[in-house]
Amino acid sequence: MNSPKQLIEGFRRFRKHHFAEGRVQFQDLVQFGQTPKALVVACCDSRVDPALVLDCAPGDLFVIRNVANLVPPAENQGHYHGTSAALEFGVRNLGVQHIIVLGHAQCGGIHALLEGSVDKEKSFIAGWMGIADSARQQVERMHTNASSEVRHRACEQQAILVSLENLKTFSWIRERVEHGELALHGWYFDIERGELLGYDAATQKFEPL
Ligand SMILES: [Zn+2]
């Protein structure tokens, strides 16, 4: 499923099943608007579609996807902040109650961060992955002699924690969390083992959900 022709055929099946057969109440979603309860920050990786992995329907999830599912810190320097703008809309306009940072195994962005496989002068990816540089530094410090697999997994998970911290640099997120109106979650989809792990602040580990 990747040629435009196949994608158009896919849309026709979607329209038949979801509109004609009413599997999803699109009329309600159109008439009353979207009211998703959860916002997911996921990676662009084609294998980790949040709606598919979490078995959700249109209207269920407000999804932000970027390279390595990173949340930048709040800043206002006149740059183009796509992720921050989407967070603002999800939190302030839609009033989501949960934000889930959904990392995953075999992340290409984290691979580039750890292996330095992109040209920092010319690459948008290198600049973007700088958000997670503190995760890289911690992994290099704590897993100096570990295998590539262990280092990558540790960095994929540590980067989720960096994003959770960065979420709290947005005042309208921090205030809602403090008032109990919004909960932040760090999840890790292990595409090799078919498992979903969640960060447990008590054990400071990612545990199966
Ligand atoms: Zn990824």
Give the list of residues 6+ apart from residue 181 with CB closer than 8 angstroms, or none. 97
Q: How far is the CA of 21 from the centre of ligand 1 (A)?
A: 34
Q: CB-side exposure of 131: number of CA atoms within 13 Å?
A: 27
pLDDT of residue 174: 98
pLDDT per residue as tens digits for the range 136-159: 999 999 999 999 999 999 999 999
Centre of ligand 1 from the C-alpha of residue 105, in Å: 7
What CATH number does the domain containing 51 carry? Answer: 3.40.1050.10
- DSSP 8-state code for residue 58: T
pTM given for the model: 0.94
Regarding whether 83 and 23 lie in a shared domain, the answer is no
- Report whether pLDDT(24) > 70: no
Q: What is the whole-number distance in angstroms between the Cα of residue 108 and the centre of ligand 1?
A: 5
> Are 142 and 192 contained in the same domain?
yes
Residue 61: beta bridge partners?
A: 38
Q: How far is ligand 1, taken at its centre, from the CA of residue 106, in Å?
A: 7
Cβ-count burial of 122 within 10 angstroms (0-12 exposed, 13-18 middle, 19+ buried)? Answer: exposed
Residues 91 and 191 occupy one common structural domain: yes
- Residues 66, 104, single domain; the answer is yes
**Based on the domain organization, do 4 and 52 belong to the same domain?**
no
Q: What is the mean pLDDT of residues 167-181?
A: 98
- Ligand 1 center from residue 16 Cα (angstroms): 32
28 shares a domain with 39: no
Higher pLDDT among residues 78 and 128, named by residue: 128
d(CA 192, CA 189): 9
50 and 17 inside one domain? no
Is residue 187 a contact partner of residue 194, using CB atoms and an 8 Å limit? no
If one counts every other C-beta atom within 10 angstroms of the C-beta of residue 96, the result is 24
- Cα(205) to centroid of ligand 1, in Å? 20
Mean pLDDT of 28-42: 93
Average pLDDT over residues 158-176: 98
Total structural domains within the chain: 2
Task: Mark whether 6 and 40 lie in a shared domain.
Answer: no
Residue 22 has pLDDT above 80, yes or no: no
Centre of ligand 1 from the C-alpha of residue 47, in Å: 9
68 and 105, same domain (yes or no)? yes
**Closest-CA residue to 109 (of 92, 123, 90):** 123
Range name among 11-20, 35-44, 138-147, 189-198 with the lowest pLDDT average: 11-20
Q: Are strands 205-208 and 195-200 parallel, antiparallel or unpaired?
A: antiparallel
| Residue 66 CA to ligand 1 centre (angstroms) | 8
Shared domain check, 108 and 23: no
pLDDT digits (tens, 9 = 90+) for 61-82: 999 999 999 999 998 777 889 9
Indicate whether 50 and 150 sit together in one domain.
yes
pLDDT score for 16: 87
How far does residue 156's CA lie from ligand 1's centre (Å)? 8
Looking at the fold, whether 49 and 24 belong to one and the same domain comes out as: no
Confidence of residue 118 (pLDDT cuts 50, 70, 90): low
* Residue 61: HSE in the Cβ half-sphere, 13 Å Cα cutoff: 19
Tokens at 177, concatenated: 């969390």
Quote the pLDDT of residue 119: 72
Q: How confident is the model at residue 181 (pLDDT cuts 50, 70, 90)?
A: very high
Range of the domain at 101: 34-208
Give the pLDDT of residue 78. 73
